[in-house]
Amino acid sequence: MWSQPLQFVKGVGPRRAAECARVGLTTVEDLLLRFPRRYENRAGLTPIASLRPGQTATVVGEVLSSGVRTTRRPGFRLFEVVVRDTTGAIRAVFPNQAFLKDVFRPHQQIVLYGLLEYRSGGLQFTNAEYEIVRGEIADGAEVDDVTVHTGRIVPIYEKIGSVTTRMQRSLIFQLLNDMPADGGGDAGDPIPAAVRGAMPTRMDAVRAIHFPAPGTEVDALNAFATDAHRRLIFEEFFLFQAGLVLRKRRAAADKKPRPVKVDDRIRDAARKVLPFKLTEGQKIALREIVTDMQRPEPMHRLLQGDVGAGKTIVALLAALVAMENGLQVAFMAPTEILADQHYLTIRRLLDASRFRVASLTGSLTAAKKRATLAEIASGTTHLVVGTHALVEGAVEFRDLGLVVIDEQHRFGVLQRATLREKGQKPDVLVMTATPIPRTLALTAFGDLDVSVIRGLPPGRQPIRTLAKAESRRDEVYQLVRHDLEQGRQAYVIYPLVDESEKVDLKAATAMYDTLQQDVFPEYRVALLHGRMKADEKEQVMAAFARGDVHVLAATTVVEVGVDVANATMMVVEHGERFGLSQLHQLRGRVGRGEHPSTCVLLYQAPLTEQGKARIDALISTTDGFIIAERDLEIRGPGDFFGTRQSGLPTLRVGDLVRDHTLMEDARRAAVSWLDDDVRARGLVAYLTTHWAERFGLVGIG
Contact residues: ligand ADP, CB under 6 A = 276-279, 282, 305, 307-313, 457, 561, 563, 592
160 binds, among Mg ion, ligand ADP, none (CB under 5 to 8 A by kind): none
150 binds, among Mg ion, ligand ADP, none (CB under 5 to 8 A by kind): none
Residue placing its CB nearer to ligand ADP in the complex, 282 or 566 = 282
Q: How far is the CB of 422 from ligand ADP (least distance, A)?
A: 24
Q: Where are the beta strands (DSSP E) in 247-389?
A: 300-305, 328-332, 357-360, 383-386
The 10 Å Cβ neighbour count of residue 676 is 9
- Rounded Cα–Cα distance for residues 268 and 317 (Å): 11
Q: How far is the CB of 265 from ligand ADP (least distance, A)?
A: 23
99 binds, among Mg ion, ligand ADP, none (CB under 5 to 8 A by kind): none
Helix spans in 116-164 (H): none
Q: How far is the CB of 361 from Mg ion (least distance, A)?
A: 17
Phi, psi at 151, each rounded to 5°:
65, 15
304 binds, among ligand ADP, Mg ion, none (CB under 5 to 8 A by kind): none
Residue placing its CB nearer to ligand ADP in the complex, 15 or 277 = 277
Q: How far is the CB of 271 from ligand ADP (least distance, A)?
A: 13
359 binds, among ligand ADP, Mg ion, none (CB under 5 to 8 A by kind): none
* Cβ atoms of 25 and 51 closer than 8 Å: no
Residue whose CB is nearest to ligand ADP in the complex, by number: 310
* Cβ atoms of 63 and 83 closer than 8 Å: yes
- Provide the pairing of β-strand 109-119 with 122-126: antiparallel
572 Rama sector, left if φ>0, alpha if ψ -120 to 50, beta otherwise: beta
DSSP single-letter state for residue 23 = T
Find, among 273, 416, 424, the residue nearest to 354 by Cα.
Answer: 273
Q: How far is the CB of 571 from Mg ion (least distance, A)?
A: 22
Residue placing its CB nearer to Mg ion in the complex, 306 or 324 = 306
**Beta bridge partners of residue 111, listed in sequence order:** 60, 131
Residue placing its CB nearer to Mg ion in the complex, 12 or 590 = 590
Q: How far is the CB of 310 from ligand ADP (least distance, A)?
A: 3
Residue placing its CB nearer to ligand ADP in the complex, 295 or 595 = 595
Q: How far is the CB of 563 from ligand ADP (least distance, A)?
A: 5
118 binds, among Mg ion, ligand ADP, none (CB under 5 to 8 A by kind): none
313 binds, among Mg ion, ligand ADP, none (CB under 5 to 8 A by kind): ligand ADP
Please report the DSSP string for 597-656 in residue order. Answer: EEEEEEEPSSPPHHHHHHHHHHHH---HHHHHHHHHHHH-HHHHH--SSSS----SS--T
Find, among 174, 240, 203, 180, the residue nearest to 29 by Cα.
Answer: 203
Residue placing its CB nearer to Mg ion in the complex, 382 or 592 = 592
106 Rama sector, left if φ>0, alpha if ψ -120 to 50, beta otherwise: beta
Residue placing its CB nearer to ligand ADP in the complex, 561 or 654 = 561
Residues of this chain that bind Mg ion (CB under 5 A): 561
Residue placing its CB nearer to ligand ADP in the complex, 133 or 344 = 344
592 binds, among Mg ion, ligand ADP, none (CB under 5 to 8 A by kind): ligand ADP
- Count H helices, E strands: the chain? 23, 21
For residue 604, which amino acid is it? Answer: Q
Q: How far is the CB of 429 from ligand ADP (least distance, A)?
A: 13
